Amino acid sequence: MSERRIAVVTGAAAGIGAAVARTLARDGYSLALLDRDDVELKRVTAELAETIVEGADIESHVVDVTDRQAVDAAVASTMDTFGRIDALAHVAGILDTGSVLDSDPDQWRKIFGVNVFGLLNVLQSVGLEMRRRRAGAIVVVSSNAAGVPRIGMGAYGSSKAAATMLVRTAGLELAADGIRVNVVAPGSTDTAMQRSLWSDPSDDSGADAVIEGNLASYRLGIPLGKLATADDIAESVHFLLSDRAAHITMQALYVDGGATLKA
Annotate the chain with DSSP letters as a single string: --SS-EEEEESTTSHHHHHHHHHHHHTT-EEEEEES-HHHHHHHHHHHHHHSPTT--EEEEE--TT-HHHHHHHHHHHHHHHS---EEEE-------B-TTTS-HHHHHHHHIIIIIIHHHHHHHHHHHHHHHT-EEEEEE--GGGTS--TTBHHHHHHHHHHHHHHHHHHHHHGGGTEEEEEEEE-SBSSHHHHTTSSSTT-TTHHHHHHH-BGGGTBPP-TTSSPBPHHHHHHHHHHHHSGGGTT--S-EEEESTTGGGG-
Per-residue pLDDT tens for 217-257? 545 666 767 778 899 899 999 999 999 999 999 999 888 76
Alpha-carbon gap, residue 70 to 249, rounded angstroms: 28
pLDDT-derived band at 163, boundaries 50, 70, 90? very high
Provide the pLDDT for residue 194: 57
- Whether residue 8 has pLDDT greater than 60: yes
Q: CA torsion angle for 29, 30, 33, 38 (degrees, to 10)?
A: 120
Q: What is the pLDDT of residue 239?
A: 96
Nearest to 58 by CA among 40, 75, 78, 88: 78
pLDDT at residue 259 in the model = 74
Give bridge partners of residue 179 from the DSSP assignment.
Answer: 136
Structural fold of domain 6-187+229-250: Rossmann fold (3.40.50)
Q: What is the structure's pLDDT at 260?
A: 57
**Cα 174 to Cα 135: distance, rounded to the nearest angstrom:** 9
- Residue 157: pLDDT band by 50, 70, 90 thresholds? very high
Q: pTM for the whole thing?
A: 0.88
**Residue 1: per-residue pLDDT:** 42
Q: What angle do CA 137, 140, 141 make, to 5 degrees?
A: 140
Count CB-CB contacts under 10 A for residue 68. Answer: 15
> In this predicted model, what pLDDT tens digit does every residue of 168-223 receive, in sequence order?
999 999 999 999 999 998 866 555 555 455 455 665 544 545 545 555 554 566 67
**Could you give the residue range(s) of every CATH 3.40.50.720 domain in the chain?**
6-187+229-250
Amino acid at 131: R
Query: Which residues does the annotation mark as catalytic?
Result: 156
Cα–Cα distances (Å) from 30 to 39, 44, 98, 201, 260, in that order, read 21, 14, 40, 34, 35
Amino acid in position 73: A
pLDDT for residue 52 is more than 90: no
- Please state, in angstroms and rounded to a whole number, the distance separating the CA atoms of residues 249 and 172: 8
Render pLDDT for 67-118 as a digit per residue (tens, 0 to 9).
999 999 999 999 999 999 999 999 999 988 899 999 999 999 999 999 999 9
- The single-letter code of the amino acid at 123 is L
Q: What does the alpha-carbon distance between residue 174 and residue 142 come to, in Å, rounded to a whole number?
A: 19
Predicted pLDDT of residue 198: 46
The residue-averaged pLDDT of 26-40 equals: 97
> pLDDT digits over 125-134, tens only?
999 999 999 9
- Beta bridge pairs of residue 60: 33
